[in-house]
Structure 1
Amino acid sequence: MTIALCPGSFDPVTNGHINIFERAAGIFDHLIVAVFNNIRKTPFLTIEDRLSLLQESTRHINNITIDAFDGLLADYVKDKKADIVVRGLRDQNDFFYETAQMIMLKRMVPDVEMVYLMSEHKYSYVSSSAIRELVRFKGNIEGLVPDCVEKTIKEKSIH
């Protein structure tokens, strides 16, 4: 059984992420989507909110597990016995960033393979940071994130 791992902060999860998960789940036997706390970013949503929203928005994918981790990705990959790390790419900037990250991971876990899935064109401009900026300035995020994410963000923005 091939276990693929798709790590990310998913703060918040977007429709582009969901598309990558759906496609990866169609390729590999099992997909683990793992939320990590990115120490380089101030969180928009709590880990608990992100896990809940990922659970709800991926309910239709049968071979997926939603999880969270703290620490080194290499240790998590080993712990989960993952064969593949999947990363979604929107453009060449993502490619350069992800390649540097994956070279370091490969150094620590030589047996793991890296797979990049290109974003579908309609999602190529959608990022979690763009969503956070739209929310901050009361922009419209409809159609860019799963409905449950939009609803949660609207509810949290009111308080």
Structure 2
Amino acid sequence: MRICIYPGTFDPITNGHLDVVARAARLFDKVIVAVADNPGKGPLFSVAERMRLIEENLAPWPNVVVDSFPGLLVEFARERGAVAIIRGLRALSDFEFEFQMALMNRHLDHEIETIFVMTKDAYSYTSSRLVKQVSRFGADIAPFVPPNVIAALDDRRASNDEA
């Protein structure tokens, strides 16, 4: 079985992320969407919340599962028997950082390949950070995220307004 890891913070998951999931699901027998447990990034949602938001959108891809990891990605990939790491690219500006990470991961484990997947052009300017930012001001984010993410962001905004 050919397994790949699609890692990220996914705070929150976007339609661009789901586009990459769909592409990876066609290429591999099993895709593990790996939610990074990195409190230093100051995520809006907990790891458990992010995992739930992702899981609720995976019905079209029975070969995709969600997991989380706290440490080095290549160690997690090795533990799960992955042969590849999938990374989504939106624009040229993503490439330099992703290229550096791919080279470091190759240094740490040369058996695990990194594969770059271009997202649809409709999502090329979408990021979780930008979605959260415009959502705070009540903008329509429906073209960029699934409905459960809209609801979660609305709930978070309402609870912050009450505080």
Distance 1:135 1:151 in 2: 11
1:127 matched to which residue of 2?
Answer: 127
1:142 matched to which residue of 2?
Answer: 142
Of residues 129-138 and 65-74 in structure 1, the stretch that sits farther from structure 2 once superposed is 129-138
Distance 1:132 1:106 in 2: 32
Distance 1:158 1:62 in 2: 34
Distance 1:128 1:140 in 2: 14
Shift of 1:151: 1.1
Shift of 1:79: 0.6
Equivalent residues of 2:132, 2:153 under 8 A apart: no
Deviations 1:116-157 (A, max 9, x none): 000110110110011111122222211210111111111221
Alignment gaps of 5+ in structure 1: none
Q: SS at the partner of 2:10?
A: coil
Deviations 1:84-104 (A, max 9, x none): 100000011111110101110
2:94 matched to which residue of 1?
Answer: 94
2:157 matched to which residue of 1?
Answer: 157
Percent identity reads 34
Deviations 1:52-100 (A, max 9, x none): 0000011221101100110111210111110010000001111111010
Question: Number of residues paired by the alignment?
Answer: 159
Q: SS at the partner of 2:45?
A: coil
1:63 matched to which residue of 2?
Answer: 63
**Is 1:54–2:54 an aligned residue pair?**
yes
Equivalent runs, 1:12-31 vs 2, <5 Å: 12-31=12-31
Q: SS at the partner of 2:78?
A: helix
Alignment gaps of 5+ in structure 2: none
Equivalent residues of 2:5, 2:86 under 8 A apart: yes
2:33 matched to which residue of 1?
Answer: 33
Deviations 1:11-60 (A, max 9, x none): 00000000100111011111000000235521111111100000001122
Query: What value does the CA root-mean-square deviation take over the aligned residues?
Result: 1.1
- Report the AA paired with residue 139 of structure 1: A
Distance 1:39 1:99 in 2: 24
Q: SS at the partner of 2:56?
A: helix
TM-score (norm 2): 0.94
